[in-house]
Amino acid sequence: MSPRRIVLLGATGSIGRSAVRVAKDLPDRVRVVGMSGFRNIPGLAAAANDLRPEFLAVPDESSAAQLSALLDYKPASILTGEEGLCQLAALDAADMVLVAIVGTGGLRPALAALAAGKDIALASKEVLVVAGELVMAAAARHDCRLLPVDSEHNAIFQCLEGRDPRHVKKLILTASGGPFRTWPEDELRTVTREQALRHPTWRMGEKITIDSATLFNKGLEMIEARWLFGVDISRVEVVIHPQSIIHSMVEFIDGSVLAQMSHSDMRFPIQYALTWPDRLAGSLPPLEFAKLGKLDFEEPRCDVFPALDLARQASERGGIAPAVLNAANEVAVAEFLAGRIAFPRIWEIVARVLGETADVPRHDLDSLLAADQAARSLAARCAAA
């Protein structure tokens, strides 16, 4: 079997680096033909020198010159700007595109990949939160597969494979609960950047690590699940599972529940998405149950962590509301990381921006992007107030 030809969008990030390790582990099955980076050009050069993709993409000409000087081979092309990212996503030489760009930046490249008929391995949950309906419709129109990389959705995808959708009762997303799972509410005001960035079970990029601490990550994932698996949001539940061993579950109408388990290492879902439908023996370690001892489960504290309710409300409103939630959250997280707002204000800003945004009847890409921009401005004003 010839290797699957993959483009890695966001090759220098946490997911991107794990994908590079998967590709190096399985050279006969995964060939990286394109890679993009954003700010970390030396990191992109190091990964490119390792895997030698013919096509690279960076934000601008000066990054292209910097990259070129650091490469020890001559690629066919170094593309630039968002246009370059979209060209990379639509590359003739690729079979599949891993979208691992943090935030809304992955949306246009994902749509470009689908328009070119590429299957997508999707890590960037924001893409489905902002434009789930459009993205799912584009995938169906161009006969493309969307393989979930987010560990919860990859788990549900595995549990659902070969099942009749009519037999599914609900999807149960597991959440670690983040570093403040057991904190008293009044102490959350004192949370520092460093404390919020210390996730108990996963090592990830900064934005998703803060999202895991507020539980907005799980809120975004509820909306992501709703689109990926075509279920109503009322059938998507969340349970806290601090060990992050069960990555998610599916409950069927007969009361049986299937779960998917592994160590908390993103190479598991990345490998499964990149090599699907095969399962390949790589270098990933199996679980040793006797050493794990026990697995715990708790109700999420929705009163203290309002992110789940806000995401559910935004999803029920539909239209532009999830895009507004996502944009306000991106701004609030950046403000918190910059040290300009206290931790609980992230929830407050998202709630306020959602509350002050009117629904619009039509939601094509332009109106979603306009809503995204308006929500960003409003969130920035709230943060400064």
State the residues that interact with ligand NAD by CB under 6 A: 10-16, 37-38, 85, 100-102, 105, 123-126, 150, 202, 204-205, 207-208, 266
Q: Closest residue to Mg ion, Cβ-based?
A: 150
Which one, 202 or 252, has the nearer CB to ligand NAD?
Answer: 202
Q: How far is the CB of 154 from ligand NAD (least distance, A)?
A: 9
Element (H, E) at 260: strand 257-261
Q: Closest residue to ligand NAD, Cβ-based?
A: 13
Tokens of 39: 């700010």
Which one, 226 or 376, has the nearer CB to Mg ion?
Answer: 226
Tokens of 81: 């700007």
Residue 186 DSSP code: G
Q: If contact means CB under 5 to 8 A according to the sort of partner, which of Mg ion, ligand NAD, none does residue 124 touch? A: ligand NAD
Q: If contact means CB under 5 to 8 A according to the sort of partner, which of ligand NAD, Mg ion, none does residue 13 touch? A: ligand NAD
Handedness of CA 175, 176, 182, 186 (dihedral sign): negative
Q: How far is the CB of 106 from ligand NAD (least distance, A)?
A: 7
Q: How far is the CB of 168 from ligand NAD (least distance, A)?
A: 23
Q: If contact means CB under 5 to 8 A according to the sort of partner, which of ligand NAD, Mg ion, none does residue 252 touch? A: none
Q: How far is the CB of 150 from Mg ion (least distance, A)?
A: 4
Alpha-carbon torsion, ordered 220, 222, 223, 228, to 10 deg: 120
Rounded Cα distance, 305 and 286, in Å: 33
Q: If contact means CB under 5 to 8 A according to the sort of partner, which of ligand NAD, Mg ion, none does residue 102 touch? A: ligand NAD
Considering only CA atoms, which of 150, 157, 110 is closest in space to residue 130? 110
Residues that bind Mg ion (CB under 5 A): 150-152
Rounded Cα distance, 12 and 16, in Å: 5
Please report, for residues 61, 196, 198, 219, 375, the alpha-carbon distance to residue 306 in angstroms, rounded to integers and kept in the order given: 43, 17, 21, 9, 19
Which one, 123 or 215, has the nearer CB to ligand NAD?
Answer: 123
